[in-house]
Amino acid sequence: MWCCVRELWLRAILTCAIGACSILGDFGLRYGKSEPERAAFDNATHATVGGLTWTLIVILSRKYVARNLDSIFSCFLLASFIDLDHFIAARSWHIHDATHLQKRPFLHCTTIPIMLWALFISLSNAFHSPVLEQTSWVILAAFLSHHIRDGTRRGLWFCPFGSTRPIPYYLYVSLCMSLPYALHWLMSLHTFVQKSDGPVALIDV
């Protein structure tokens, strides 16, 4: 009984943390004093939301957080590294050049993570590899959490079909908070979802 209550509290806390982090990140982006400060704050928010998203998925899967720190950290880093395409597209390491592009850089196309997800899922089916399966979901979680945040300004870009309208703010926050639940549900439909490690615990002792 206590484990169930603790798990519900962890889910609620992490869900609220995703929403709060998104909102605080937007304040930092809006009111940052300098361009580098705003860019750093925005990127740190992307990374944190990505890490929290996968942490919640781990808990929803009833796995030990301590045993899945590598995948949590991977999602954290990938959600941050996506913004490197700004510098690649600008062909410059200057923040001003990277943040004043004429069009969105390639890793901000939502078609790319969907295709990568499909590729890794296919490979996991072919080779019966839980590692490849987990990699596919980490990629999808990191990219979607990043793209949804950016979608408030330009919408989601599905090349070659075009972009959606900008996501309304309240919907964007709701999508960020519900993304782990949607991905976990999709994961539960897949053949190679791993069995539970046992009761949820922040520290494996």
Taking only the tens place, the pLDDT of each residue in 57-103 is 999 998 999 999 999 999 999 999 999 999 999 999 999 899 888 88
Cα three-residue angle 84-88-94, rounded to 5 degrees: 80
Residue 195 lies in a domain: no
Residues 6+ apart with CB under 8 A from 42: 25, 28, 29, 83
Residue 82 lies in a domain: yes
Residue 49 lies in a domain: yes
Total domains present in the chain: 1
Residue 94 lies in a domain: yes
Residue 109 lies in a domain: yes
Residue 9 lies in a domain: yes
Taking only the tens place, the pLDDT of each residue in 179-200 is 999 999 999 887 444 444 445 4
Taking only the tens place, the pLDDT of each residue in 151-181 is 998 899 999 899 999 999 999 999 999 999 9
Domain with 182 in it: 1-190
Residue 205 lies in a domain: no
Residue range 49-59: mean pLDDT, rounded: 97
Residue 78 lies in a domain: yes
